[in-house]
């Protein structure tokens, strides 16, 4: 299988998974009367608000040896 078709296949599978899981979460958030929905909504939309540099720096800090998961991964 060529790299193009493999990428298209993986992207298609990821798209189906994201759409189905997103619809399930949206349905649950609409039907549920839980008080923490605002927090969950903020966590879901957080990747849209944060710039990629901030996310990259946070991942660097988390996985660098001597920090949270970095020492555990070595």
Q: How many residues does the chain have?
A: 74
pLDDT score recorded for residue 48: 85
* Tokens 């070595």 belong to residue: 74
CA 7/CA 50 separation, integer angstroms: 27
Q: What is the pLDDT of residues 8-35, one digit of tens each?
A: 999 999 999 999 999 998 898 888 888 8
pTM (two decimals): 0.58
pLDDT surpassing 90 at residue 50: no
- Cα 57 to Cα 51, 60, 70, distances in angstroms: 10, 5, 14
């Amino acid at each position: 299988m060529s790299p193009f078709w493999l990428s298209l296949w993986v992207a298609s599978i990821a798209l189906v998974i994201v759409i189905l899981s997103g619809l399930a979460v949206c349905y649950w958030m609409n039907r549920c009367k839980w008080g923490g929905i605002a927090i969950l909504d903020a966590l879901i939309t957080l990747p849209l608000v944060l710039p990629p540099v901030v996310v990259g720096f946070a991942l660097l800090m988390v996985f660098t040896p001597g920090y949270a998961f970095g020492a555990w991964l070595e």
